[in-house]
Amino acid sequence: MYIDRRLWAFTAGVRVRIAWTVLLGMLAVSAGIARLALLGWLLGRVLSGAPLAAVVMVATAVALLIGLRGALDYARTLVAHQTAARVQARLRQTIHAHVTELGPAHFTAARTGDVILSMVEGIQQLEVYFGQYLPQLFVAALTPVVIFAFVAFLDLPIALVLLVAALVTLIAPALWHRRDSVKSLARQAAFGAFGAEFLDALQGLATLKAFGQSAARAALLAAKSRELFQTTMGVLATNTLARGITDTAIALGAAVGLGWGVHRVQSGAMTLETLLVILMLGVEVFRPLRELRVLLHQGMLGLSAAQGVLALLATRPGVRDAAGPRADLGPLSPTVAFEDVTFRYPGGGRPAHERLSFAVRAGERVAIVGPSGSGKSTVARLLLRFYDPQDGRVLVGGRDIRELPLARPRAHIAVVHQDTYLFHGTVAENLRMGKPDATPLELESAARTAHAHEFITRLPQGYDSVV
């Protein structure tokens, strides 16, 4: 079945809740067994001509068991969704922390659409996997055994027939696991390609309009859409075939069990009441398997969508803190120096800088000028240690920044980008990116220093205006 050990690791801390979901499912199955057993006995008594007074208590018990079953199913569904939400929240926190560790250097070589789909759609697809598929897999595996034990007490041959049919229904889809996996991965790749192209088209809409390339981009999106349609149909075809096999096993098991039971009743080896009870339980033995069959497709889609999440988490940052404890380095003097720095971007041809050397002493102001592509921004990226040079050293306070914790030099460097990204929120919230605990007076002082206070106060809500 579709279980990934890497995804199972994310259930740490909620496995008790998953077990609780399975227990609630098994209690619901037990209530269903009792209900159907009583109902079968009740029908047998009615068909035998028993008076109403003799079956009222049993009918009342059946009604109560129906209510109990509904309450247990409701509780199981509630716990399952809460469990899935907790796992998803942990996944999002893990991915955010990992993305922050990867830094902007990693995403210059990655497509924004692919990353967004992995972080949003990939995690969303896992809700069914964690909340419903995993618990239902255990319930579907345990239910035939429980019902077999009960039916075997009534009639062993029919119990064996139902058990074999249930096991075939449970195991048969695994025969198509590899094919289903390949199809689902192809569909997820097509979905990611379409999403990435669509996002690129939206982000570059002005450029497409300006250069008259809207029709060409539309044709590309149409081709990606057709590919997504074809791969989706492939997944549905494979899933339909697996469902056909399970449905056939269920139908054959029920038919053989019914025929064999009728034969045993006619031969006097079984009473009619026992046959009706077994037939009712035959409905219950296959019910969890039918539910699992519905979830198998969603489980495979969740696994396929998770590949992007797992690939992102498996990516190692190009720049990391050195392992082992660090000695107290003390305060850093405000000096910067590049010594014979040679740096080439990953996958790049010529070096962005080759044997670059310069020094900036405390209190100096140095401007780095040059045409576009000459490496001005690269100097800032190396100084912030988004990358490490292939040769040479970058020194801050006389120390090689590779010997410093990543956060140390960044905490002492202020960057004013040419195109500053504004996060959704108020002006004050964006300003506090530089100092989260800044007071309103400190914000105003910083804004005045940057000559921004006047236009901020002209906004509708001043520092509380949403940008």
What's the CATH code of the domain at 41? Answer: 1.20.1560.10
The reply to whether 147 falls in a domain is yes
Question: Which pairs count as long-range contacts for 185-189, CB under 8 Å and 24+ apart, including other chains?
Answer: 185/304, 185/307, 186/231, 186/234, 187/228, 187/231, 187/232, 187/234, 187/235, 187/301, 187/304, 188/301, 188/304, 188/305, 188/307, 188/308, 189/231
Mean pLDDT within 420-440: 84
What pLDDT is stored for residue 340 in this prediction? Answer: 92
Mean pLDDT within 312-316: 81
What pLDDT is stored for residue 393 in this prediction? Answer: 92
Same domain, 344 and 290: no
What tokens does 151 get? 């039916």
Q: How far apart are CA 241 and CA 235, in angstroms?
A: 10
Amino acid at 317: P
- Nearest Cα to 251, choosing from 165, 148, 176, 156? 165
pLDDT band at residue 371, thresholds of 50, 70 and 90?
A: confident
User: Which secondary structure element, helix H or strand E, spans residue 147, and what is its range?
Assistant: helix 134-154
What pLDDT is stored for residue 20 in this prediction? Answer: 92
Cβ neighbourhood burial of 29 (10 Å; 0-12, 13-18, 19+) = buried
The reply to whether 323 falls in a domain is no
Interval 202-233: pLDDT, tens: 878 888 888 788 888 888 889 989 998 998 88
* 361 φ/ψ sector (left φ>0, alpha ψ -120 to 50, else beta): beta
Q: How far apart are CA 63 and CA 15, in angstroms?
A: 33
The reply to whether 205 falls in a domain is yes
Same domain, 282 and 365: no
Same domain, 284 and 145: yes
The reply to whether 419 falls in a domain is no
What pLDDT is stored for residue 89 in this prediction? Answer: 86
Q: Does residue 327 surpass a pLDDT of 60?
A: no
Same domain, 405 and 432: no
Same domain, 69 and 171: yes
The reply to whether 115 falls in a domain is yes
Same domain, 47 and 194: yes
Mean pLDDT within 176-197: 76
Q: Which residue has the higher pLDDT, 284 or 363?
A: 363
- Nearest Cα to 442, choosing from 451, 452, 431? 431
Same domain, 396 and 368: yes
Same domain, 354 and 446: no
Number of domains in the chain: 3
Same domain, 293 and 364: no
| Residue 402, domain CATH | 3.40.50.300
Same domain, 239 and 310: yes
Q: Which residue has the higher pLDDT, 48 or 16?
A: 16
What pLDDT is stored for residue 451 in this prediction? Answer: 87
Q: Which domain holds residue 440?
A: 427-464
Mean pLDDT within 90-102: 84
Same domain, 272 and 389: no
Q: Does residue 324 surpass a pLDDT of 70?
A: no
Q: Which residue has the higher pLDDT, 391 or 417?
A: 391
The reply to whether 320 falls in a domain is no
- Nearest Cα to 286, choosing from 252, 260, 259, 262? 252
